[in-house]
Amino acid sequence: MQKKILITGAAGFLGSHLCDRFIKEGFHVIGMDNLITGNIKNIEHLFPLKEFEYYHHDVSKFVHVPGELDYILHFASPASPIDYLKMPIQTLKVGSLGTHNLLGLAKAKKARILVASTSEVYGDPEVNPQPEEYWGNVNPVGPRGVYDEAKRFQEAMTMAYHNYHGLETRIVRIFNTYGPRMRVNDGRALPTFFRQAIEGENITVFGDGLQTRSFCYVDDLVEGIYRLLLSDYHLPVNIGNPDEITVKQCAEEVIALVGGEAKIIYKDLPKDDPKVRRPLTTKAKEILGWEAKVDRAKGLQLTFEYFKSVLSEAKKTSK
């Protein structure tokens, strides 16, 4: 029998790549999104397939899916600072009410559910790299608290359903990920750097640029999520690339790749912006046999080609 999976946030950057992967693996995929940050273009190539169906729905409201369901991937949520600062209430609701609705659906359908958590649960960490056992350094009333605490609550609710109801649950903590289908105006470092460099603008770096990030190419992340869903491990697992670089280095690599005369200009660091971010991936290696494979030079080249094409198309349609 063909396995059936519900993927929320299906029209988003990560959700759309997950839809592709699970269809490729022979699943029947139900994509669900309310498109507040997702883009229907990310999944329109799937609409002709009999293995795919789409529900336009906000998971913060009651979720109904007819028939049997084997798996749920909960990826619905604003994920960029620009989005969750603009939509703080929706961000908190999708992490709390949305998670509650989907855990209830998983319980009713006897389905296994994997929830998308984030490295932001570690806040501005005082340890580097961050292991899953680290409880984090989060400011619950700061501007980023709406996202950080929504995800921390989501993890707590998921564990409560696992422990109290015996529900099969999985938790992935996603570190910085990049690749095709990111939004050009996403607000995160890499899309912003690419847009600015391609359009001949100077590159904006916040703070002194010495804060670090670890960038994982989307194909690697999807592979880790796929393996985690099908594993027997219910505690959180970091999935990310432990190759750590400074934000300034990242900007310089984009400038070198795009070419042109762009210079780096520095602006004030936003409140509670993490100074370091690097996953300890020992669990992913030991439990899932997973590690990041795509090196940054190749990943950046593929991402550059995508943004170049999107921005070129936008110019044509605006004429």
In-domain check, residue 40: yes
- What is the reported pLDDT for 253? 97
CATH number at residue 123: 3.40.50.720
What strands, in cross-sheet order, belong to the sheet with 71-74? 52-56, 28-33, 4-8, 71-74, 112-118, 169-174, 237-239
The region of weakest confidence among 125-129, 244-248, 312-316 is: 312-316
Confidence of residue 235 (pLDDT cuts 50, 70, 90): very high
Whether pLDDT at 318 is above 80: no
Distance CA(247)–CA(264), nearest Å, equals 11
Q: Given pLDDT bands bounded at 50, 70 and 90, which one contains residue 309?
A: very high
List the Cα angle 36/239/166 in 5-degree steps. 80
pTM above 0.85, yes or no: yes
- Interatomic CA distance for residues 9 and 57, integer angstroms: 10
In a domain, 11, yes or no: yes
Identify the DSSP state of 246: E
Helices (H) and strands (E) in the chain, counts: 9, 13
CB atoms near residue 269 (< 10 Å):
15
pLDDT above 90: residue 271: no
Instruction: Answer whether residue 312 is part of any domain.
Output: no
Reported as a pLDDT band with limits 50, 70 and 90, residue 273 is confident
Closest by Cα among 71, 117, 91, 112 to 239: 117
279-299 mean pLDDT: 98
User: How many structural domains compose the chain?
Assistant: 1
Residues 110-157 pLDDT 10s: 999 999 999 999 999 999 999 999 999 999 999 999 999 999 999 999
Residue 118 lies in a domain: yes
In 7-46, where does DSSP find H-type helix?
Answer: 13-24
Q: Calculate the CA dihedral of residues 48, 53, 57, 58 and round it to 10 degrees.
A: -110
Q: Which pLDDT band holds residue 49 (cuts at 50, 70, 90)?
A: very high
Query: Strands, DSSP E only, in the chain?
Result: 4-8, 28-33, 52-56, 71-74, 112-118, 169-174, 177-178, 203-206, 212-214, 216-217, 237-239, 244-246, 264-267
CB 16 within 8 A of CB 177: no
Task: Quickly count: other Cβ atoms within 10 Å of residue 317's Cβ.
Answer: 6
Specify if 256 maps to a domain: no
184 φψ region: left (φ > 0), alpha (ψ -120 to 50), beta (else): alpha
Per-residue pLDDT tens digits for 27-42: 999 999 999 999 999 9
Catalytic amino acids? Answer: 147
Residue 253 lies in a domain: no
The answer to whether residue 234 sits within a structural domain is yes
Residue 68 within a domain: yes
C-alpha dist (Å) from residue 275 to 123, 173, 205, 257: 10, 18, 13, 25
Spatial separation of the C-alpha atoms in residues 34 and 37, rounded to whole Å: 8
- Residue 163, CA atoms < 13 Å, CB-side half-sphere: 7
Range of the domain at 37: 4-180+216-239
